[in-house]
Structure 1
């Protein structure tokens, strides 16, 4: 359940988030998926970091469409590696994130920040932070921009202006 849905005020949620950042150098914000009554997708769930840019000078990271527990694990893994000095640029693949799959990184277009990183503005009021999206392939190693991306998969929009990777080459 979201903290505000549980009765906390927006100010209390903000204070708690800032306290977690002060204690751990970052925090995670999780947004639940949304489905219509007929079960169709309205919006995928997502998890993102807040604080990594300020404390470790690495982009904030967002994982869209993965099951919540898995998305949290991916953000934690990224944060742990970043805190130990690992740096990530656009592209990949990056081994070590998932045992049976592949992940890539893509720069998030700032035009998506307000919608996808809303709580980050409590920590970065001007929105002055870089962000990467950790993209994941399905079990058949198909990426969300490929025509074979299965309809049964959770939507995984690519948060660039074009909706496709832009900062590294993709096979056509």
Structure 2
């Protein structure tokens, strides 16, 4: 492993106590990281918002930022994150603000740094694995059918609520489904 990056503080690299006390999901994560190098967590769409998926273990195994993707079918995102993980394992690193053309057939994706204030809401299994932040996470942002990204003029509004803008601080994020998840409830009407 490269030594020019901060040391890994995960549960595989440090003794935080009895691993037999891990819940089944954390045990599953550890097994995947030990055998594949990372694990992909899928959170399906529900009443609170669109589904998403993220990796756990890329930082441990490859000193690569973890990856997160939102708003597509969770099984497709699982496959895409594994594909991108395979690219990283093959020596093609993932970096912030990088445009990648090796993931979707006709469209590029852009990798954006995730602000630390979003971690607790979305990446609980990664926090459990690494025991605490900071560890880097990149959001894999996909474009609309015309190739526009959420920050571009002309981005198709029907996709606006599918992907959060995790590169922004929560207080700077446009109000919507994603900010409702982290904002405390307002006052109750009489």
Q: TM-score range by the shorter chain?
A: 0.7 to 0.9
How high is the TM-score relative to the length of structure 1?
0.79
Instruction: Tell me the residue number matched to 1:159.
Output: 166
Partner-residue secondary structure (3-state), 2:40: strand
CA-to-partner distance for each residue in 1:58-83, whole Å, 9 max, x for gaps?
Answer: 00000011222221122011100111
Cα root mean square deviation, aligned: 1.9
Higher helix share: 2
Aligned mates of 2:115, 2:51 — CA distance in 1: 19
Consecutive unaligned residues of structure 1, counting only runs of 5 or more, are: 1-9, 36-41, 165-172
Partner-residue secondary structure (3-state), 2:53: strand
Consecutive unaligned residues of structure 2, counting only runs of 5 or more, are: 1-21, 175-190
Tell me if structure 2 keeps the 8 A contact 1:144–1:157: no
**Number of equivalences:** 149
Instruction: Tell me the residue number matched to 1:23.
Output: 35
Work out which of the two has the higher radius of gyration on C-alpha atoms and give 1 or 2.
2
Tell me if structure 1 keeps the 8 A contact 2:97–2:113: no
CA-to-partner distance for each residue in 1:39-98, whole Å, 9 max, x for gaps?
Answer: xxx312111000000110000000011222221122011100111111122223211111
Deviation at 1:147, TM superposition (A): 5.5
How high is the TM-score relative to the length of structure 2?
0.72
CA gap 1:93/1:13 in 2 versus in 1, 3 angstroms: closer
Partner-residue secondary structure (3-state), 1:123: helix
Is residue 2:86 matched to residue 1:80? yes
CA gap 1:151/1:106 in 2 versus in 1, 3 angstroms: same
**Displacement over 4 Å in runs of 4+:** none
